Structure 1
Amino acid sequence: MKKQTKTTFSRRGFIRTSALAGGGMLIGFNFLTACKDEVKPPVDIANLNFNDFNAYIKIADNGYVTIFSPNPEIGQGVKTSMPMIVAEELDVPWEHVHVEQAGLDTDNYRGQVAGGSQSIRQNWDVLRQTGATAKQMLVNAAAAKWQIDASEVSAKNGIITSKSGKTLGYGDVVKEAAALEVPENVPLKEPKHFKIIGNDALNVDLDKIVTGKPLFGLDYKKDGMHIASVMRPPSFGQTLKDFDDTESRKITGVTDVFQFGDKIAVLAKNTWSAVKGKKALKANWEDNALESTEKHDELLLGLLNSSEGDVRREDGDVDKAFAEADQIIDRIYESPFLPHNCMEPMNFYADVTSEKVQLAGPIQTPEGTANRVANLLDLAPEEIEVELTRMGGGFGRRLYGDFALEAAEISSKAGKPIKLVYSREDDMNAGIFRPAIKYRISASLKDGKVTGYKLKEAAINSNMYGLIPNFFPAGAIPNLKIESANYKSNITTGAWRAPYTNFLAFAEQSFFDEVAEALNQDAVQLRLDLLDNVDEGADDRIQYSASRMKEVIKLAAEKGDWNNTPDGIYKGFSAYYSHNTHVAEVAEISIQNGMPKVERVTAAVDCGIVINPTGANNQVVGGVLDGIGHAMYGDFTFEAGKPSASNFDTYRLIRMNETPKVAVHFIDSEIAPTGLGEPGLPPAGGAVANAIKAATGKRLLKQPFTKYLAETESEVKG
């Protein structure tokens, strides 16, 4: 178990306190990597006369608390769970907490990023210390008021009580607390005393989401704002030669058309006019290096079979292990490009003036984006103001901020405030795609054991994109070699939900099932036996915990009733570590009309302490369904640089009637929390692939599974 750390805060580094005009206490702190949250209290906080500050706890004179959360909310739920941590240690009733979204503020915050499932993990200690320190200051103020020692005073549920029975509310002493020194080494609660953490809390934006209140970037409006729609090269590798905007300018509502770079912006008074204006444009394009999926397949296979590549990890004597093997298993696994397809297409607001630059919208990297905009406009970063909105999905796409730079450049050239709005076709075709990747995995078997393991990655634009050399099976197999090779393409690629592991987990977990079959061993037992080989602590490069992984494997096998398979049901197993969390899954499928249908998935998860069980369950279920949907159906190709699909009529997603039941079981833990937005996704594809093998006898080597099954004309039994 991770030992709870004591953090010492100085008045300058941790808390800035001051008396508010309305009689409140202002407590500032770094959230490092948080996300926004809002719970409507049973009083109108607008009447509490608070000043408008960012990145602070505010305690009103009636005891109600406002928490400003600086980091982006992309649906991962930290706008609810992170304030729960502060409220727990502050010891206020959750229903007395109101949370608001802060804008970008590099003076008061660090790491205003949403990505990598790291918000809770990186902020656990500082958030707890923030709440606990604020509580101690209130206790000290009450003790001074009563002229007794602070050891004779306690606080609970927003009420301060002396040993003699005197009581004060937090709001009764906020003015006095603001004048006190910041205490050091404040003790934190033991997990067994948690009252908020570990209990269900509804998403604090739930009412606004279901009633359509403005929260998202597409909801954002400002007086005088114009809508911008952009024509981009239809194929990767094309540049703009010339264009004719005569017909575009005739459309009612269109106010301007101009070129920037190899793109053309159409400005209008409303979205429909902007879209019509773009469609009316006539443009000619210059073809340069136009690439195709067929070319990529050839290049990546060539890399796998060549000596080219960088060695990322090498243990023992791999060549000797393979030379002495009784049997060698060698497989190549292949995955396509994938778009992100967030429910809310890319959009961003920009108002560039000589005085300042105001930006607003859904972005996972506000600080990095502000710096890029500053560089683009030749301004200082402090001249850029960024307001954050809730996001209708991110999945890594909104890490890059290219759309925000477009908005800023258009506003600068137009000299007016604009909101850039992507159509679905823009969003799918002008994306940052998950790169196509191929893996070659080999194992040497001797005397009923795995003696050697080789894995080589060949990826588009992403050397080591999907390759984690210190994850399982590192440390579990004595002779191991991990290497990667890369091909540079003009197709834009980047992080896609559960980067590094979203496809690698399927490849490795399918491969280990094949190894188990060759050794005539149960698939679950093989993984447990391999993990028994890991000497925990002996190799500090290894990132996963063998003991924690074994626990989730055993729990998933138990809850998924691994050894009992009803007639007509076929099961598959998978286990994977990613984003600091261990997950194991059992998938159950049936055969319907000659094709597999996923009926149920049982997931076991060790993410340390679970802050909000409802939110945590939702994250795992969402990750499982996302993983299954893309493994089964996700396909995206390029021909002469042009994407194969531009909307959902030609790009296949999982449908409601194809979603299985998902049962999630969390390991009971007092270890500090780890990531949860992404780890449920990677094992899903492998579990389903292994279940399909049980049903059809066919090993799946490519995604999407349905396409691969059709191509190989697999004989299905069932």
Structure 2
Amino acid sequence: MKSQINTNFSRRNFLKTSVLASGGMLIGFNFLTACKAEAKMPVDIASLNFNDFNAFIKISDEGYVTIFSPNPEIGQGVKTSMPMIIAEELDVEWDKVNVAQAPLDTKKYSRQVAGGSQSIRQGWEALRQTGATAKQMLINAAAVKWNVDASTCTASKGVITNVNGDTLGYGDVVKEAAGLEVPENVKLKDVKDFTIIGKDVINVDIDKIITGKPLFGLDYKSEGMVYASVVRPPSFGKKLKSFDATKAKQVNGVLDVIRFGEKLKAIEKQASGFTRITDKVAVIATNTWAAMKGKKALIIEWEDEKLESTQDHDKNLTDILDGKNFNTRREDGNVKKAFASADKVIERTYHSPFLPHNCMEPMNFYADVTADKIHLVGPTQTPQWAAGLIAAAYKVKPEQINIEMTRMGGGFGRRLYNDFLLEATEVSSVIKKPVKVVFSREDDMTAGTYRPAIKYRIKAALKDGKVTGYHLKEAAINSNMYGLIPNFFPAGCIPNYKVDTGNYKSNITTGAWRAPYTNFLAFAEQSFFSELAQELNIDHTDLILELLQNVKGTSDKRIQYSGQRMEDTIKLVKQKANWGNASNGVYQGFAAYYSHNTHVAEVAEVVLKDGYPIIKKVTAVVDCGILVNPTGAKNQVEGGVLDGIGHAMYSDFSFKDGKPDFKNFDKYRLIRMQETPKVDVHFVQNDKKPTGLGEPGLPPAGGAIANAIHAALGKRLYSQPFVNELKKSSVLG
């Protein structure tokens, strides 16, 4: 890894990263930390005399530092890991760093988004440059004080030392450093010299989380705030006709009942697709219980609205697969010829249902709309997008919108879509009060943005013991996120290769759900390759490894994955899982997949209890490059694997005449504590730049357990949730 880089800073650009103020210096693209050598983080830092520089940092007169983290924290750990990168290159001790959440600030920060498992990957270089540049400027300031050459000085743990052994703390030279020229070139650490990156660091919010301190959107309160519970159409295909609020207003604590929706309609083109553009009713109350109780007392009349389609999605998806209206996303060789000359052709169809997100913390947001500003507080993965929608709807300048981000009790893609934020804003604008909109669990499940139902049809040509042709056809609801999937495995591995996609339009709102598309496609493809391997009488892992040889060293720039890195993960998971040598009564299944720039291979182990398949263990090997925080990384992979298993095995969701079949967890099935297997996580050790981790562990899980269940029962699974297929075959009775 290069240890010297050109930062290409101009004095104008550096105004974002260096500011002289009373008592301190701001350095950093996203963060700054600077402290005296002898400083110890006090218990109550709020009692200290801090100097505010801007949105990035505060530094106290004593040298204590608060780093403001700009990216939304949804449990993926960026509020801990991103400051770690800065602290590493700046050379300060981690126990002298305090971290806080920054608000949306498009002038000072870039990509304030939580999505796509990209925060660390996108910020890696900039964050390292930030820390290294800050350290060099502090060293330069100390050198000026000592009247020595800066090249003879070193810095470590917040202390600068010269050749004579003299020392200065960072806090001692922070004022002088701010006035110096920004260095054109700074030296980055060698990976072997890291002292913070690669070490286990506890989540910076953990003490507040376990002691119940206010961190989440549901915790936020303000003087004079009221609560709102919103009534939305009971099904896709209905709109509000009229309502009677007489009984609702008699509920103790209910203040008012309003009709709203005009502002949503004003931005229909920007907002449609992730929120229902229709009039809604809000019950305003002094507390959430009264608001929700008042909502149940409303008498509402609904009427039909024109919809493109809300019915029989399964049949319509099949019709698409059987039809000819497809968009070809990639085509190599001559697929038609490969199938015509094949010794055998294998074709299978796989189906996944809609799924809600079911975040532990239901959707909520606080809004206070006044003549001068719009103040918004709550959990959102896309604050900048939300600000743009609000600015368009209310015709205000961006600087009049203040969005504060709270920690989120889960996101999984649901909080990319800001319908709850838009609702809170409009309700506040109507009632002229600060308000918090809070979803019930029923609201959360029935007024969602769902994972689209999808069908895949995969067809392979076999000739002379080889896979010579491959054709993947996708039929999806509201499919608009094809991304790079046509260039994932097995693209480049099979000479005749084709990917077609078809779209079925529905008014049911759909969108990103953890590891979009790949969350199901990985199961379909890896189940299919397991079946191909069985047909060819070759081990599943050996078939994949053999195919990967065709893409290693490719010059095809469309290919997104690395044949070598995927091979390395597969070989390591075989070793760690003792692949092919399981104990008696233990059945193994394998799957490997690349998504979000990360290569993952997993082996699931299943045992039978009274003929039922019980998942006992999953071994996961991940190549995500350099591990910033191993503890956080392991947690992400474990969570992704369990999420993948739970939804593949148990979760089902459907609509009848546009109305969701399930409203709460009494009928909607999630994985239960006793059903969670042990997850054994290993990482490929290398010095490559970090890649995504929040999502890549999920996609292979479904394929691994499906293939393990086949090994145990001899039954192939083609639809999720698997429990439904097992019941149909009388395996589960």
Q: TM-score range by the shorter chain?
A: over 0.9
2:312 aligns to what SS in structure 1? helix
1:26 equivalenced with 2:43 (yes/no): no
Check the 8 A contact 2:311/2:658 in 1, yes or no: no
Report if aligned partners of 1:89, 1:189 keep a CA contact under 8 Å in 2.
yes
Q: Does the 8 A contact of 1:54 with 1:105 survive in 2?
A: no
Secondary structure in structure 1 of the residue aligned to 2:13: coil
| Structure-2 separation of matches of 1:173 and 1:354 | 44
- The 1:205–1:497 alpha-carbon spacing in structure 2 relative to 1, beyond 3 Å, is same
- Given the superposition, is the C-alpha separation of residues 425 and 609 from structure 1 closer, same or farther in structure 2, using an over 3 Å criterion? same
Could you tell me how far apart the structure 2 residues matched to 1:193 and 1:308 are? 56
Q: Which amino acid aligns with 2:729?
A: T
Which residue of structure 2 aligns with residue 91 of structure 1?
91
Aligned to 1:147: 147
Letter in 1 for 2:314: D
Query: Secondary structure, in 3 states, of the residue corresponding to 2:213?
Result: coil
Corresponding residue of 2:272: none
- 1:128-172 Cα deviation digits (max 9, x unpaired): 000010011110010000000101111000111001100111111
Question: Is this contact kept in 2: 1:461–1:493, CA < 8 A?
Answer: yes
Q: Determine if contact 2:56/2:102 at 8 Å carries over to the other structure.
A: no
Q: 1:465 to 1:539 in 2, by over 3 A?
A: closer
Whether 2:505 is the aligned partner of 1:488: answer yes
1:460 equivalent among 462, 465, 477: 477
1:327-346 correspondence runs (5 A): 327-346=344-363
Match of 2:717 in 1: 700
> Which residue of the partner structure matches residue 696 of structure 2?
679
User: What amino acid sits opposite 2:219 in the alignment?
Assistant: D
Which residue of the partner structure matches residue 166 of structure 1?
A: 166
Aligned partner of 1:93: which letter?
E
Distance 2:343 2:354 in 1: 37
Partner of 1:509: 526
Alignment pair present for 1:276 and 2:293: yes
Alignment of 1:591-630 (within 5 A): 591-630=608-647
Contact 1:28 1:57 in 2 (8 A): no
Aligned CA distance change for structure 1 residues 133 and 62 (closer, same or farther; 3 Å): same
Contact preservation (8 Å) 1:318, 1:481: yes
Amino acid at match of 1:233: P
Residue 375 of structure 1 deviates from its aligned partner by 1.4
1:709 alignment counterpart: 726
1:417-432 equivalence runs, <5 A: 417-432=434-449
Q: Which amino acid in structure 1 is aligned with residue 85 of structure 2? A: I
Q: State the alpha-carbon separation in 1 of the partners of residues 92 and 321 from structure 2.
A: 58
Once the two structures are superposed, what CA deviation does each residue of 1:211-243 show, in whole Å capped at 9, x if it has no partner? 000000000000000100001110011011111
CA drift of 1:258 comes to 1.1
AA paired with 1:458?
A: A
Secondary structure of 1:486's aligned partner: strand
**1:394 maps to which residue?**
411
* Counterpart in the other structure of 2:250: 250
SS at match of 1:186: strand
Q: Work out the CA distance in 1 between the residues paired with 2:371 and 2:234.
A: 34
Structure 1 counterpart of 2:161, one-letter code: T
The answer to whether the 8 Å contact 2:310/2:508 transfers is: no
Structure-1 residue corresponding to 2:543 = 526
Helix, strand or coil at the partner of 2:50 = coil
Task: Classify 1:573/1:121 alpha carbon distance in 2 versus 1 (closer, same or farther; 3 Å).
Answer: same
Q: What secondary structure, in the 3-state scheme, does the structure 1 residue paired with 2:503 have?
A: strand
In 2 relative to 1, CA 381–79 (structure 1 residues): closer, same or farther, beyond 3 Å? same
Maintained 8 Å contact 1:237/1:290: yes
Q: Can you give the 5+ residue segments of structure 2 that lack an aligned partner in the other structure?
A: 32-38, 262-278
Distance 2:383 2:41 in 1: 29
Deviations 1:375-425 (A, max 9, x none): 122222221110110000000000010110000010001111100000000
Match of residue 452, structure 2, among 393, 411, 435? 435
CA contact (8 A) 1:333 1:440 kept: yes
Q: CA RMSD in A?
A: 1.9
Asked if 2 retains the 8 angstrom alpha-carbon contact of 1:24 and 1:50, the reply is no
Whichever residue aligns with residue 349 of structure 1, its letter is Y
Query: Which residue of structure 2 lines up, in the alignment, with residue 323 of structure 1?
Result: 340
Q: TM-score, normalised by structure 1?
A: 0.96
SS in 1 for 2:487: coil
User: Structure 1 residues 576 and 498 mapped into 2: Cα distance closer, same or farther (>3 Å)?
Assistant: same
Query: 2-side partners of 1:206 and 1:235: how far apart?
Result: 40
The aligned amino acid for 2:596 is H
Question: Aligned letter for 2:477?
Answer: I
The answer as to whether partners of 2:452 and 2:478 remain within 8 angstroms in 1 is: yes
Residue 494 of structure 2 is matched in structure 1 by: 477
Give the counterpart of 1:663 among 680, 683, 696: 680
CA distance in 1 between counterparts of 2:61 and 2:366 reads: 37
Q: CA deviation at 1:83?
A: 0.4
Cα shift at 1:28:
4.5
| Alignment partner, residue 212 of structure 1 | 212
Deviates more, 1:81-90 or 1:8-17: 8-17
CA–CA separation in structure 2 for the residues paired with 1:49 and 1:115: 36
Preserved CA contact (<8 Å) 2:240 2:302: yes
Q: Once the two structures are superposed, what CA deviation does each residue of 1:548-568 show, in whole Å capped at 9, x if it has no partner?
A: 000000001110100202111
Give the deviation of 1:249 after TM superposition. 0.7
Aligned residues of 1:448 and 1:519 also touching (Cα < 8 A): yes
Query: What amino acid sits opposite 1:379 in the alignment?
Result: V
Q: Does 1:381 align with 2:381?
A: no
Quick one: distance in 2 between partners of 1:54 and 1:523? Answer: 56
Paired amino acid for 1:696: L
Is 1:570 the counterpart of 2:571? The answer is no
Decide whether the 8 Å contact of 2:67 with 2:97 is kept in 1.
yes
Distance in 2, matches of 1:40 and 1:487, equals: 60
Q: Provide the C-alpha distance between the structure 1 equivalents of 2:732 and 2:536, rounded to a whole number of angstroms.
A: 25
Looking at structure 2, the residues matched to 535 and 671 of structure 1 have their Cα atoms a distance apart, in angstroms, of: 17
Counterparts of 1:18-57 in structure 2 under 5 Å?
18-21=19-22, 23-30=23-30, 41-42=41-42, 44-57=44-57
Give the unaligned 5+ runs of structure 1: 32-38
The 3 A distance-change label for structure 1 pair 631 and 464 is same
Q: Is the 8 A contact 1:443 1:450 kept in 2?
A: yes
1:641 match: 658
CA distance in 1, matches of 2:44, 2:250: 50
Contact 1:54 1:102 in 2 (8 A): no
Shift of 1:295: 1.1
Deviation at 1:633, TM superposition (A): 0.4
With over 3 angstroms needed to count, the CA separation of the structure-2 counterparts of 1:569 and 1:213, relative to structure 1, is same
Distance 2:539 2:732 in 1: 24
Instruction: Give, in angstroms, the shift of residue 637 of structure 1.
Output: 0.6
1:580 aligned partner: 597
Q: Residue deviations 1:445-490, cap 9 Å, x none? A: 0000000000000000114548710000000000001010001101
Determine the structure 1 residue equivalent to 2:235.
235
Question: Which residue identity is paired with 2:500?
Answer: E
The alpha-carbon deviation at position 322 of structure 1 amounts to 0.3
- Count, aligned residues: 709
User: Residue 364 in 1 paired to residue 365 in 2?
Assistant: no
1:126 aligns with 2:143: no
**TM-score after normalising by structure 2:** 0.94
8 Å contact 2:249–2:255 — kept in the other structure?
Answer: yes
Partner of 1:100: 100
User: Alignment partner of 2:337: what SS?
Assistant: helix
Q: Does 1:543 align with 2:557?
A: no
Secondary structure of the corresponding residue to residue 516 of structure 2: coil
Structure 1 residue 191 and structure 2 residue 206: aligned?
A: no
Q: Kindly indicate whether the alpha-carbon contact (under 8 Å) linking 1:467 and 1:484 is maintained by their aligned counterparts in 2.
A: no
C-alpha distance in structure 2 between counterparts of 1:694 and 1:361, whole Å: 47
1:35 is matched with which residue? none
For residue 635 of structure 1, what is the amino acid of its counterpart? D
- Residue 606 of structure 1, CA deviation: 0.3
Preserved contact between residue 70 and residue 102 of structure 1 (Cα < 8 Å): yes
Change (3 A) 1:159 1:464: closer
Sequence identity (%): 68
Q: Name the CA distance, whole Å, in 2 between partners of 1:271 and 1:203.
A: 30
SS of 1:482's equivalent in the other structure is strand
Contact 2:624/2:690, CA 8 A, preserved across alignment: yes
Structure 1 residue 11, shift from structure 2 partner: 3.2
CA distance in 2, matches of 1:335, 1:212: 37
Question: Could you tell me whether the CA contact under 8 Å between 2:52 and 2:59 is conserved in 1?
Answer: no
2:62 alignment counterpart = 62
